Amino acid sequence: MKAKLERVLGRITAAEWQNLRRRDIVGEYERNPPQLTQKENWREFRDSARRELALSRKYREDDIREQTGELETDAEGRVEVDVLAPDVPITLGDRTFARLSALSALDRLRAGDIQTLRARISSTHKPRGGVDGTIPQWVIFMGVEAWIPAEELADSYRRHQQALLAEPKPSRTHARAFQVAEFVWEQERFYGTRPPWQFLWERWNTYPLTTPFENWKSFRMAFVRGADATRPRYFATEEQLTEQVISRVHEGAFDSWAAAFRELAV
């Protein structure tokens, strides 16, 4: 059941799965109310699990931000979100944080009691590809006010990236291996099938601006290394990412993120 749900919603940790059981969301599905068909019961379970996972993950993020001093509330208990990104904790330098706080104070002075506090830095992600035959990929979106120093955004992006990538460090594969992989795939596309390695090796060696290989075996090994390192490795499988593109499960969160940048006339 957990594996089936992960194909739709992505990776679910053991703690998150235990929480779904504790909240009786799994139990309700297992009991299968007689008034629901099996398909309707699964849809109810999937939607309930999605809502609960979103809430539990948001709470965990807020708890981490509170522990690091990045989440503050005012006297009435409202969260001051204008400093923070909704998905990934942001760590800013003292000078930038002080300027950001001063800017927020100036906004409050000019605009009064702002009902919707603006995020100075915010990020989200959504999948694309897969359904058209391309390799499905996560795409990270960041909205940043232009005055914030670029070097202070690197850590935020890195944290967001590491939450999606199953390979924590970038590949150290040499550029030449990637170039060989590109060459072989282009030849395969041109001929409709992959030509013999001897032929590909000889053709590579006659191409201008390429460094020749001594034999076809070393050429083939370079291709294997390049081909293996080309595809990004995410926690979600290609099948899971493609299913999420089809189900449009991330579109609501993306639309909410984008809506924060649309100004309404007053």
Radius of gyration over alpha carbons of the chain, in Å?
24
Is there a domain that residue 211 lies in?
yes
Is the pLDDT score of 69 beyond 60? no
> 15, exposed or middle or buried, with CB in 10 Å at 0-12, 13-18, 19+?
exposed
What would the pLDDT profile of 85-142 be if each residue is shown by its tens digit? 344 455 677 888 888 878 878 887 887 655 445 678 888 889 999 999 999 999 999 8
pLDDT at 79: 35
pLDDT at 198: 96
pLDDT at 227: 92
Higher-scoring residue by pLDDT: 206, 53: 206
DSSP 141: E
Residue labelled with tokens 């799965």: 17
Characterize the bridge pairing of strands 121-128 and 137-144.
antiparallel
Mean of pLDDT over the chain: 80
- Percentage of the chain modeled with pLDDT above 70: 80
pLDDT at 207: 87
pLDDT band at 262 (very low <50, low <70, confident <90, very high): confident
The conformational region for residue 203 under phi > 0 = left, psi -120 to 50 = alpha, else beta, is: alpha
What would the pLDDT profile of 126-152 be if each residue is shown by its tens digit? 999 999 999 999 999 988 899 988 888
> 214, exposed or middle or buried, with CB in 10 Å at 0-12, 13-18, 19+?
exposed
pLDDT at 176: 92
Higher-scoring residue by pLDDT: 77, 23: 23
Give the chain's domain count: 2
Distance, in Å, from the CA atom of 37 to the CA atom of 225, rounded to the nearest integer, reads 49
What would the pLDDT profile of 200-209 be if each residue is shown by its tens digit? 999 999 988 8
Is there a domain that residue 249 lies in?
no
Is there a domain that residue 85 lies in?
no
pLDDT band at 187 (very low <50, low <70, confident <90, very high): very high
Domain of residue 182 covers: 175-230
Is there a domain that residue 103 lies in?
no
Structure tokens at 94: 């003292």
Is there a domain that residue 38 lies in?
yes
pLDDT at 235: 86
pLDDT at 164: 86
